[in-house]
Amino acid sequence: QVLSLVVPTQLQRVTHQALHRLFHTRSCLFVGLHIALQAAVFGEYTWEVFMYCWELQFHLLLLLLLPYLLLAGNVGCFLLCSRANPGIVTKSNAASLVEVYAYDGVLFQRGLVCPTCAVEKPARSKHCSVCRTCVHRFDHHCVWVNNCIGASNAGVFLLYLLSLTATAGAVAAVTAALLVQVLLLSNAMHGTYLDAQGQEHAVEIPFLVQHLFLTFPRIVFMLGFVILLTLVLGGYCSFSLYLALTNQTTNEWCKSRRFGGSSPLPSQPCDKPLVYKNIYSKGIWRNLKEIFNPTTVLERKKK
């Protein structure tokens, strides 16, 4: 019985340590996985889709090359995002960064000191336990780029998401166009088949999908994966665009949703609940401008 209790405990400890190392320490594992997935998709796209389109005299050469052009832009954004300083708060710049954003008194309060970095926390900043630094206008820590997303690289990260979604969508569109072209050339859409009872039926979509899967299994599998990837990335990209247009960060959005359990400020009555209001939104155009051209303390003083 003692052995049966010790084994699950050790397994839980090992699992916890593995998950901690995976998600709570800086690691190139997800970067490598990201590159491997892109290499696999584009290897299959080049070897199967591109070559088949070339043999079928697919005249839309620009459409065939579009995924490669988007990939080049995506790789550039990825490198910039992963290697950029996200906006680390240090003892030398903390006093200046405190003046960039006003404290809303709800999510961010003046005078708080980070116990790890021993610096005053500017409004909209947060200590990242993975990078072990405080980041100005902290959004989240992204394991896929192995870096925090903050004031200095939020715009590049948004471009990275947009280009990644567009790349997956372009690969899916070209692959789907190839399969439709194959069906048109084979005249399979107007064919018939015999069922188990020997009765003749016109082909339907499930039959065509099965036919394509049996004929081009790797291409169909890749198409399904890329479509799913496009939908997932599209949803996350839409959410990120919403945050950018409203001048919010992921950290602020999550905190505002669970703020009901927070304690009231000393200046407010205990029976009066705090109401969160986004004070940082300045309109769509100025919000986007702040994402791609972060406000510095010098600019704020001029205003």
Query: 142 - beta bridge partners?
Result: 147
Tell the residue number behind the tokens 């992204």, with chain if given: 142
Tell the residue number behind the tokens 């999510």, with chain if given: 107
Helix axes 61-83, 154-186, angle to 10 degrees: 160
Taking CA atoms, 247 is separated from 53, 99, 141, 206, 244, in Å, by: 44, 18, 18, 45, 5
Q: Is 142 a catalytic residue?
A: yes
Using CA atoms, how far apart are residues 267 and 19, in angstroms rounded to an integer? 41
In terms of Cα–Cα distance, which of 284, 255, 259, 280 is closest to 151?
280
Alpha helix positions (H), the chain: 2-23, 29-44, 51-55, 61-83, 94-97, 154-186, 205-215, 217-245, 250-257, 284-292, 297-302
Please state whether 275 falls in left (phi above 0), alpha (psi between -120 and 50) or beta. beta
SS3 for 153-197 is: CHHHHHHHHHHHHHHHHHHHHHHHHHHHHHHHHHCHHHCEEECCC
**Per annotation, catalytic residue among 53, 81, 142, 148:** 142
State the Cα torsion 106-107-109-113 to the nearest 10°: 150
Tell the residue number behind the tokens 């579009």, with chain if given: 66
Is residue 142 within a helix (H) or strand (E), and if so which, with residue range? strand 140-142
Give the active site residues. 142
